[in-house]
Chain A
Amino acid sequence: MLALLFILFAALAVGCALAVVAQRNPLYSAISLIGVFISLACLYVMLAAPFIAAVQVIVYAGAIMVLVVFVIMLLNVEHEDSRRTRVGFLLPAALVLAAVLIAEVAFILVSVDKASFPSSSSSDIGSTASIGSQLFTTYLLPFEITSILLLMAIVGAMTLARRARELSPNARVIPGAQLLAANIIDPSKALDDTTAIETDTVAEAAHLLGITSPRDPSKRD
């Protein structure tokens, strides 16, 4: 029963992983990658690690891949034609890495003593409580370092997203907002004056800024 399920999910994972590489459409690759993550989550459940499985689905399949799909949809990249030209040096590198991986697997299969592992049914290694207590006692330092690393990544993303030179401090950035920058409404304004003007029409914004409207408000369509 368990062996059958393992073969099913392992085959799904390998098949989806092959599809990630083989697909030409980036969105198909992304969907295949989601398939890989979900199959891996199923394998984690079978290894008595339900917490890892749930986190795998929430973080990778639910958050990161949504962003990837989001970006692919936004950029609308359909085909990548120039793949053949770049593949030249990648092929030998891939072969070497694959050989290393196969050697590793062979080493584990041949020389690691299987009897020393606890059976999956008797241990509580994968349970939520044991992961939590281990994370905050034995592995506290790596945990804290990782969180600081993530904090740095967030701050870095923020500084990259709002560059101080182009945005004045009072400018607001709200994703998807219908905001107009002052330099869009009035060309005579300084180029770095991107004070946000929140209005419904350009004429209204011009009125608010005390400048002449590029269009006659009475002839507005």
Chain B
Amino acid sequence: MDWQLILDVVMKLVAITVVFIVVLFVVAYTVLAERRILGFIQGRLGPNRVGYGGVLQPFADLLKFILKEDIVPDKSTRFIYFLAPVIATMAALMTMIVYPFGPETTIPFINKTIPLVVARFDVGLLYVLGITSIGVYGIALAGWSSNNKYSLMGGLRSSAQMISYELALGMSLIGVLLLSGTLDLAAIVGLQSRWHGSSWFIFAQPLGFIIYLIAAIAETNRVPFDLPEAETELVAGFHTEYSAMKFALFFLAEYINMFTVSMLATTLFLGGWNVPFADALFGRGTFLFGLISVLGFLAKVIFFLFLYIWLRATLPRFRFDQLMSFGWKFLLPAAILNILLTATLIVVGVYGYFGY
């Protein structure tokens, strides 16, 4: 056997494992942060008893999920009922590998320069969109297989909502693609390293960014677009009949999706791992530069996660017809307008004048 190949495969497996563990930790602490921040905004404390200030609460929750009884409805479609949470979690996790969370960095001690991305390929952005569109099956099939009217309504609503907002989401990214000319996420981040790492595409694409942000919230089924699980109307929506670990998987998928769309927003609009003027301070390629970049990436992602929690605490839910007419009659035309505007400005040469 070829030792180089084996080494590469082992390196990839290690990278995937590291990313997986980091994602699970971030998700666990996003849940805790959400509960504490919601508590703060609503004038109460939130969970603060397990560990210092509640830092062990995610593990207590996990233990509870594992130990709870796993109830399967009698007349559910068994196989699909088991398959749905698996699809939801898998589709959420699969997109993690294409995001570049740091520049090429030389690791101390082993002196090996590695790119801080698990897999880099030509159509990274399309891969993300494709896998995200698979994720809708998890929710839709969960709703159908539970043999429960509320679940079915939740599943149908989520299918309709995700198909509608996927269009606006995809369209809002085309402006960035026109400017960068590539679908490779690492290359898109590389293009944003000019002006000492501050030529972020948000300055060139403010409209696209806002449309993406709104559509992304709808894609992840979060407040104010959480119609699939509207508890005032549908008990708990598509996961009404799910309990114990299977419910935990849906929960996990929702928070991973939040994390994913935050990472995509960071990568495409907020410059990815680019920290302004970090290269002037530390110099490109050094370990310190890599560390600062990874921390900058995480900080931007955490900003988006905070935004999500903040919105949840402040905004009321849409009505379903409002949701649909907003998506089709406002967001989609605005996204098309953004494409036309961007293309015109590129041809006229305005973007070229500003160095994009």
Q: Which residues of A contact B (CB under 8 A)?
A: 27-28, 31, 34, 38, 41, 50-51, 53-55, 57-58, 61-63, 66-67, 69-70, 73-74, 127-128, 174-179
* Interface pairs A-B: 3 shortest CB-CB: A62-B133, A177-B321, A54-B126
In the complex, chain B residues 124-138 whose Cβ is within 8 Å of any chain A Cβ = 126-127, 129-134, 136-137
- The answer, among B123, B163, B324, B325, for a CB contact under 8 Å with A63, is B163
What chain A residues lie within 8 Å of B16 (beta carbons)? none
Known A27-B144, A174-B324; contact A54-B159, beta-carbon cutoff 8 A: no
Q: Which one of B121, B122, B133 lies within 8 Å of A58 (CB-CB)?
A: B133
Contacts of B160 in A (CB 8 A): 70, 175-176
Say if the beta carbon of B102 comes within 8 Å of chain A: no
With a cutoff of 8 Å between Cβ atoms, the chain A residues found around residue B157 in the complex are 176
A179→B121 CA distance, assembly (Å): 48
Q: How far is the CA of A127 from the CA of B183 in the complex (A)?
A: 11
How far is the CB of A2 from the nearest CB of chain B, in Å? 12
**A174–B80 alpha-carbon span in the complex (Å):** 31
User: Are B122 and A51 closer than 8 Å at their CB atoms?
Assistant: yes
Find out whether the CB atom of B137 lies under 8 angstroms from the CB atom of A57: no
What distance in Å separates the Cβ of B28 from its nearest Cβ neighbour in chain A?
29
A128 to B122, CA, bound (A): 8
Tell me if A178 and B321 are in contact (CB < 8 A): yes
Since A54-B130, A66-B159 are in contact, a sample of 9 more A-B pairs with Cβ atoms closer than 8 Å, ordered by chain A residue number, is: A54-B123, A54-B129, A62-B134, A63-B133, A63-B163, A66-B140, A67-B163, A73-B140, A128-B183
For A53, the closest partner residue in chain B by CB is B123
- Chain B residues within CB distance 8 Å of chain A: 77, 80, 83, 121-123, 126-127, 129-134, 136-137, 140-141, 143-144, 152, 155-157, 159-160, 162-163, 166, 182-183, 319-321, 324-325
Chain B residues in 8 Å Cβ range of A34: 137
CB of B80 within 8 A of CB of A27, answer: yes
Look across to chain A and name the residue whose beta carbon is closest to the beta carbon of B164.
A175
| Alpha-carbon distance between A87 and B183 when the two chains are bound, in angstroms | 47
Task: Report yes or no: A176 in contact with B130, Cβ–Cβ below 8 A.
Answer: no
- CB pair A61 B133 closer than 8 Å: yes
Known: A127-B122, A128-B183. A73 touches B152 (CB 8 A): yes
User: Which B residues are CB-close (under 8 A) to A73?
Assistant: 140, 143-144, 152, 155-156, 159
Q: Would B123 and A175 count as touching, CB distance under 8 A?
A: no
Which residue of A51, A57, A63, A66 has the most chain B CB atoms within 10 A of its CB atom? Answer: A66
Partner of A66, one of B163, B319, B320: B163
Contacts of B123 in A (CB 8 A): 50-51, 53-54, 128
Which residues of chain A are near B321, meaning CB under 8 Å? Answer: 174-179
Please name the residue on chain B nearest to A34 by beta carbon: B137
Contacts of B319 in A (CB 8 A): 178
Q: Taking chain B's interface residues, is the majority helix, strand, or loop, or is none over half, making it mixed?
A: helix
The residue on B at minimum CB distance from A55 is B126
Among the listed A50, A57, A63, which residue makes an inter-chain contact with B122, where contact means beta carbons less than 8 Å apart?
A: A50
Contacts of A69 in B (CB 8 A): 137, 140-141, 144, 159
- Contact call B320/A70, Cβ cutoff below 8 A: no
Q: A27-B144, A57-B130, A73-B156 are in contact. Are A176 and B324 (CB under 8 A)?
A: yes
Residue of A nearest to B135 (CB): A62
The smallest C-beta distance from A89 to any residue of chain B, in angstroms, reads 32
B324→A175 contact, CB < 8 A: yes
Assembled-state Cα–Cα distance A178/B325 (Å): 13
- For residue A41, which residue of chain B has the nearest CB? B130
Query: Is A58's CB under 8 angstroms from B163's CB?
Result: no
- For the complex, what is the distance from the CA of A178 to the CA of B26, rounded to whole Å? 40
By a CB distance below 8 angstroms, the chain B residues around A61 are 130, 133-134
CB atoms of B126 and A70 under 8 A apart: no
Question: Whole-angstrom distance from the CB of A119 to the nearest CB of chain B?
Answer: 18
- Provide the residues of chain B in CB contact with A128, threshold 8 Å: 122-123, 182-183
Measured between beta carbons, the chain A residues less than 8 angstroms from B320 are 176-178
Complex Cα spacing A70 to B144, Å: 10
User: Which chain A positions have C-beta within 8 A of B182?
Assistant: 128
Instruction: Report the bound CA distance from A101 to B190 in whole Å.
Output: 48
> Residues of B contacting A70 with CB < 8 Å?
140, 156, 159-160
Which residues of the partner chain A approach B140 to less than 8 Å between Cβ atoms? Answer: 66, 69-70, 73
A127 and B121 CA atoms in complex are apart in Å by 11
CB distance from A43 to the nearest CB of B (A): 15
List of A residues within 8 angstroms of B131 by Cβ: 57
Q: Is the CB of A174 within 8 A of B163?
A: no
From residue B126, how far is it (CB to closest CB) to chain A in Å? 4
Selected A-B contacts with CB under 8 Å, 19 pairs:
A27-B77, A27-B144, A50-B122, A51-B126, A54-B129, A61-B130, A62-B132, A62-B134, A63-B133, A66-B140, A66-B163, A69-B141, A69-B159, A73-B156, A127-B122, A175-B324, A176-B320, A177-B321, A177-B325
Q: Closest chain B residue to A177 by CB distance?
A: B321
B156 touches A74 (CB 8 A): yes
> Given the known A-B contacts A66-B163, A176-B321, are A54 and B127 also in contact in the complex, defined by CB atoms under 8 Å?
yes
Please name all residues of chain A whose beta carbon is closer than 8 Å to the beta carbon of B152 when the two chains form the complex: 73
Contact across chains for B129 and A58 when beta carbons are under 8 A apart? yes
**Assembly CA distance A73 to B143 (angstroms):** 9
Residues of B with C-beta under 8 A to A179:
321
Q: How far is the CB of B325 from chain A (nearest CB, A)?
A: 5
